[in-house]
Amino acid sequence: MIVDTHCHAYWEGLGDREAEVRANMLAAGVARSVQIGADLDSSRMALALADRWGDGTWCTVGVHPTDCQDLAAETAGAVVRELESLASSRRDKVVGIGETGLDYYHLTKGAEGAQKETQRVFFAAQAALAQKLGMPLVVHTRDAAEDTAALIKGSGVRRAVIHCFSQDIRFARELQDWSDGVYFSFSGVLTYKSAAAVQEVARALPLDRILVETDAPFLVPQAVRGTASVNEPAFTRHVIDFLKALRPEPPETVESAVWENSHRFFGLPLPR
Ligand SMILES: [Zn+2]
């Protein structure tokens, strides 16, 4: 049994064929999912989907770095207060804050400095909210490993997941040592031919710190790249199968450990 710990099944390409996406998931053994918010609107959509799908579906609320970089940094407080009221009024469904983080890949030429600063302000505010509510933080990072590690440590956050892990072993070790509440989530990127460094990390980390995800509708895993144009939660199956082949433990041990990790990290109730 599998949890897709990070997807956006409410977005175009998936949200418009929701019943089919849900049926595909369940048929693939992906029994549970965490729907991730990327701004205020999509956080509300993630919560609405968690309500529609009922048991086995949860969500997070947050603002992605690329989605906040053109806002005024002074608006962070008001935006995060909105996130707080969503999260604290729906603790039955909202299980984390994010995705937040730093993305230096999608900056606008000429505005880099201001955009980085705005991303940092929103990141720090969401990290503080996660700590206030006792919730884990979902972190996106691209071309910003050093600043991301510094921000996590500076914020004092101890429970965080580096989602769609695509950094190197040094970054992983630094955060692994920072807190045993930092987890690492692998997506379809793990399965790409160009991902030797990411595969090395997935092999080297302690098994009890690993999660899997799709980040659907993005990042179709290698096994279905030729046939699927849109990623979907069912394809978490391909990510975990790839992970099982990489790891030294028996395959069934890997799958059950990752299942338990997902529940422990997000504080999800295990099925009766
Ligand atoms: Zn995402």
Distance from Cα 46 to the centre of ligand 1, integer Å? 12
**From the CA of 5, how far away is ligand 1's center (Å)?**
10
The pLDDT score that the predictor gives to residue 151 is 97
Could you tell me the mean pLDDT of each successive run of 10 residues in the chain, 272 residues long? 97 94 97 98 98 97 95 94 98 98 96 96 98 98 97 97 97 98 98 96 98 96 93 98 98 98 97 82
d(CA 41, ligand 1 centre) in Å: 14
**What pLDDT score was predicted for residue 272?**
78
Distance 248 CA to ligand 1 centre (A): 29
Å from CA of 170 to ligand 1 middle: 23
Task: Give the pTM.
Answer: 0.97
- The reply to whether omega before 99 is within 30° of 0 (cis) is yes
Nearest by Cα to 42 from 26, 25, 63: 63
Cα(27)–Cα(104) distance, rounded to whole angstroms?
Answer: 38
Contacts by 47-52 with C-beta closer than 8 Å and gap 24+?
A: 47/86, 47/90, 47/93, 47/94, 48/10, 49/9, 49/10, 49/15, 49/18, 50/93, 51/93, 52/18
For ion ligand 1, residues whose CB falls within 5 Å? 215
Peptide bond between residue 65 and the one before it cis (omega within 30 degrees of 0): no
- 74 CA from centroid of ligand 1 (Å): 24
pLDDT at 6: 98
**Cα distance between residue 164 and residue 148, in whole Å:** 14
Report the pLDDT value the prediction gives residue 158, as an integer from 0 to 100.
97
Ligand 1: distance of its center to the CA of 183 in Å? 16
Q: Which long-range contacts (CB under 8 A, 24 or more apart) does 41-48 make?
A: 42/8, 42/10, 42/11, 43/83, 43/86, 44/86, 45/10, 45/11, 45/15, 46/8, 46/10, 47/86, 47/90, 47/93, 47/94, 48/10
Rounded to whole angstroms, how far apart are CA atoms 40 and 11?
A: 14
Q: Give residue 131's pLDDT.
A: 98
Residue by residue, DSSP assigns 178-234 as H-TTEEEEE-GGGGSTT-HHHHHHHHHS-GGGEEE---TTS---GGGTTT-SS--GG
215 C-alpha to ligand 1 centroid (Å): 5
Distance from residue 163's CA to the centre of ligand 1 (Å): 8
Quote the ligand 1 centre to 100 CA distance (angstroms).
9
Q: How far is the CA of 51 from the centre of ligand 1 (A)?
A: 19
Amino acid 9: pLDDT: 98
CA of residue 243 to ligand 1 center, whole Å: 20
**What pLDDT is stored for residue 213 in this prediction?**
98
What's the gap in Å between 7 CA and the centre of ligand 1?
Answer: 6
Q: How far is the CA of 272 from the centre of ligand 1 (A)?
A: 29
